[in-house]
Amino acid sequence: MSENVPTSVPFHYIKSNLFRVVHTDGAVGNVTPGGLIFIGIYNERVPIPQVMVHEITDTGQVGSERAEERVGKTGIVREIDFGAVMSAETAEHLVTWLREKIDLVYKLRKTAELEKEKNAPVQ
């Protein structure tokens, strides 16, 4: 190799102003007209009421809810926190990276189970 060609390169990870950590229950997506892959990451929850009506007690405090007057959605809400668009090649790298992390989690769980069994009191 030439002396002017570097043998390594540092990558600096800088969080954008929009960086945040989100809980993920699943994903939805498809292939875009341009041949890229779109993925929307969502979390699931029950709907938050839009309106709740409460009684006012004789002492002026907030009392019981009038459930029959509640206004809101029924079912399950899937709130999409963010979307990502990527090439098929990037998606393949992501799948490989995820598989490595999944395998590591299972390996660590198995090791923890074995340690727990090893240290369990004898009956």
59-84: pLDDT as tens digits: 999 999 999 999 999 999 999 999 99
So what's the pLDDT on residue 1? 56
Higher-pLDDT residue of 1, 93:
93
Average confidence (pLDDT) over 50-54: 97
Number of C-beta neighbours around residue 107 at 10 A: 10
- Burial track 25-49 (b if 16+ CB lie within 10 A, e otherwise): eeeebeeeeeeebebebbeeeeeee
Domains in the chain: boundaries: 20-86, 88-123
